Amino acid sequence: MPNKTLADQEYKMFSDFLEQQCGIVLGQNKQYLVKSRLAPLMSQFGVETLSELVNRTLKAHERELRATVVDAMTTNETLWFRDTYPFDLLKNRLLPEFAAEGKKSVKIWSAASSSGQEPYSIAMTVDEYNSQNPGTKSVKASIVGTDISNSMLEHCKSAKYDSLAIARGLSTERKSKYFQDCGNGLLQVKDNIRRAITFRHLNLLDNYTLLGKFDIIFCRNVLIYFSPEVKSRIIGQFAKSLNPKGYLFLGASESMTGLSDDFDMVRCNPGIIYRKKT
C-alpha cells in the first residue's frame, strides 16, 4: 500500500523548494494539499512513498520530476468570466476609453492563464465590444496568455473543454456563439477568438522585458500565494510592463496596500482597478 504521509521536516524542505522555484508560499499545515497534488505522480515515477517522491524532487538532477511536481503544485481551477465585473469594466469602461483616445489597438496580458478561461474570456469580451461598437469605436486587441505550467499551456492552445468545464461560468449564448463541437464530448473555442491570443511559458519570478509593453494586465487570484516581498517585486515589474495610464486587474480579495506606490486605485461599482501613475 503506497505511503502518502510526509514528515514535518520533509514538508518544510519541500515548502522551501517550492518558494525558491516559483514563489509560492505554502505556509504551515498544508500537507493535505501536497498529498492531493503529488500522490497521483507516485505511480508515474515508480515510487512507493510520498516521502521518496519529495526527496527525489529536491535533487537538482531530477529535472523531469521537478518540472512535473511544480506543474502539479501550480495548477489552479478557474472558470469563465470569473467575478464578472473585470470583464464588464473592460467592455464598458476601458475599451471605450482607449477608443475615445484614438487608440485602435490594445495589448492585454493574462499573467496566469491556467487552463485558458481568462484569456479566452478577455477575447470574447473584446469581440462583444466590437460587435456593439463597429467602425471608428472598434478596438483591436492583441492578447498574451502566460503560465508557469507547461501542461496548462498545452491545454490553452488546444482550446478544448469538456461539459463540466464549459458549465463553469459560461452562458448558453456565449457557448453557442464562441464554441464548436469537436467530438468526443468536447467543445473547442472558435478560430476567430483563438487567433487573438498568443500563449507563452513564464515564471512570474523571472524578467518580463521580452514580453514588451501592455495597456492592460490581468493578474487575478495569483498574488495570494506569494510572500509580501515577492508580491512587491512582481507588482513593480508589472508597472514597468505597462504603458502610461495602463491598467492592472488584481483578484477581488487581493490588495496593493503597502506593496507599491506605482498605481492609483480606481474605485468602480462594483470592483477596483489600478491605473499606472504617469
Q: What is the count of structural domains for the chain?
A: 2
Chain segment 170-203, per-residue pLDDT in tens = 999 999 999 999 988 899 999 999 999 999 999 9
More confident of the two residues 111 and 48? 111
pLDDT at 22: 77
Four-residue CA torsion sign, 151, 155, 161, 162? negative
Same domain, yes or no, for 99 and 28? no
Bridge pairing between strands 105-110 and 160-161: unpaired
Instruction: Please tell me the distance from the alpha carbon of residue 239 to that of residue 230, in angstroms, as a whole number.
Output: 14
Burial of 160 (0-12, 13-18, 19+ CB in 10 A): middle
pLDDT at 133: 94
Listed residues 53, 74, 95: the one ending a domain: 74
Query: What CATH number is attached to the domain comprising 156?
Result: 3.40.50.150
80 in a structural domain: no
Listed residues 44, 74, 104: the one ending a domain: 74
pTM: 0.86
More confident of the two residues 264 and 69? 264
Same domain, yes or no, for 110 and 194? yes
Q: What are phi and psi of 256, to 5 degrees?
A: -100, 0
Same domain, yes or no, for 132 and 239? yes
Same domain, yes or no, for 54 and 122? no
68 in a structural domain: yes
Only one residue has cell 496566469, namely 112
48 in a structural domain: yes
Look up the domain containing 162 and give its range.
85-276
CB 270 within 8 A of CB 256: no
132 in a structural domain: yes
Chain segment 15-68, per-residue pLDDT in tens = 888 888 877 778 777 888 888 888 888 888 888 889 999 898 988 788 888 888
23 in a structural domain: yes
